[in-house]
Structure 1
Amino acid sequence: MDYTDNKVKVTVVESHCPKYNPGDIIRFIGSELDKDNSDRVCMVAMQAIYPFIYAFRRGGNLKSGPYQCTDCGETVVFNIEIEE
């Protein structure tokens, strides 16, 4: 059985939160956050979208977005994709 663990890129498309700006990027190498190549990471946002990040990591057939964090009135919209 093959083990799929893709690199994943999360891009901020729209933000009403002071923590994110459109164009910000968060990268994962498998289950690890690529801290050197990522912008700011909010754990509330990650909790909201991590099930989708996990699906992309494991090779799920999902559309790239939009996915969003709906913490209070500070909505952030993300695109998620496999990064080669």
Structure 2
Amino acid sequence: MENVIIEVIESKCSHYKAGDKIYIKDALIDMDKTENVCIMALQSFFPFIFATRKGVTPEQMGFGERLLVQCPDYCAPVVFEIKKII
């Protein structure tokens, strides 16, 4: 399977707190494990889900050791880390 976890690293948003997770199972959001998926936040990590699922590393995508993205809502920023689950 090609599973990805998106974890909140820091948040100033009322929808997320540090440690919250969004689980991707193959090409679907696993809603049994995931609490919230904000459509604004989805924009920040959506482009990286497929690459992460296919094993492309953060370094190969131009990031450092960690793939960190920020929600585009600058009034209530949330930082997410995207990781492949092995």
Q: TM-score, normalised by structure 1?
A: 0.85
- The DSSP-based 3-state class of the residue aligned with 1:36 is coil
3-state SS in 1 of match to 2:57: coil
Aligned residues: 80
Q: Which residue of 2 aligns with 1:52?
A: 48
Give the aligned CA root-mean-square deviation in angstroms.
Answer: 1.4
SS class of match (2:47):
helix
Match of 1:16 among 12, 18, 25: 12
**Moved segments of 4+, more than 6 Å:** none
TM-score with structure 2 length normalisation?
Answer: 0.84
Q: Distance in 2 between matches of 1:44 and 1:31?
A: 19
Q: CA deviation at 1:30?
A: 1.3
For 1:64 and 1:11, how far apart are their aligned partners in 2?
12
CA–CA separation in structure 2 for the residues paired with 1:46 and 1:16 = 16
Shift of 1:75: 0.7
Give unpaired runs (5+ residues) of structure 2. 59-64
Q: How does 1:3-82 map to 2 (within 5 A)?
A: 6-62=2-58, 63-82=65-84
CA distance in 1, matches of 2:7, 2:47: 16
